[in-house]
């Protein structure tokens, strides 16, 4: 899957689903965005030959990683 932005916003933004939301991105290409992926939920997996290319090579805000329990 290819996701190409217009030099602004997120490649993927997932919020609905609350604390149980899970998302898997496999073999996805995201480019032309300010911020790659924003996910509010339980689990995010990015795998395969996925690439995220951001404007200026910046990763923006970085949140907490790993298990919060």
Reported as a single tens digit per residue, the pLDDT across 4-37 is 888 888 888 888 777 888 888 898 888 888 878 8
Question: Is the whole model's pTM more than 0.85, yes or no?
Answer: no
Domain that holds residue 12: 2-53
Domain-embedded: residue 23: yes
Residues of the chain with pLDDT > 90: what percent? 0
The secondary structure of 3-40 as a DSSP string is: EE-SSSSEEEEE-TTGGG-EEEEES-EEEEESEEEEE-
Residues whose CB falls within 8 Å of the CB of residue 22, separated by 6 or more in sequence, listed in order: 41, 42, 43, 44
Q: Is residue 59 part of a domain?
A: no
pLDDT number for residue 61: 47
In a domain, residue 61? The reply is no
Is residue 62 very low, low, confident or very high in pLDDT (cuts 50, 70, 90)? very low
Domain contains 60: no
């Amino acid at each position: 899957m290819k996701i190409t932005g217009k030099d602004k916003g997120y490649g993927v933004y997932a919020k609905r689903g609350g604390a149980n939301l899970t998302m898997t991105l496999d073999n996805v290409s995201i480019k032309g965005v300010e911020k790659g992926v924003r996910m509010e939920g339980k689990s995010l997996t990015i795998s395969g030959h996925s690439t995220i290319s951001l404007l200026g090579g910046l990763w923006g805000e970085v949140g907490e990683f790993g298990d919060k329990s």
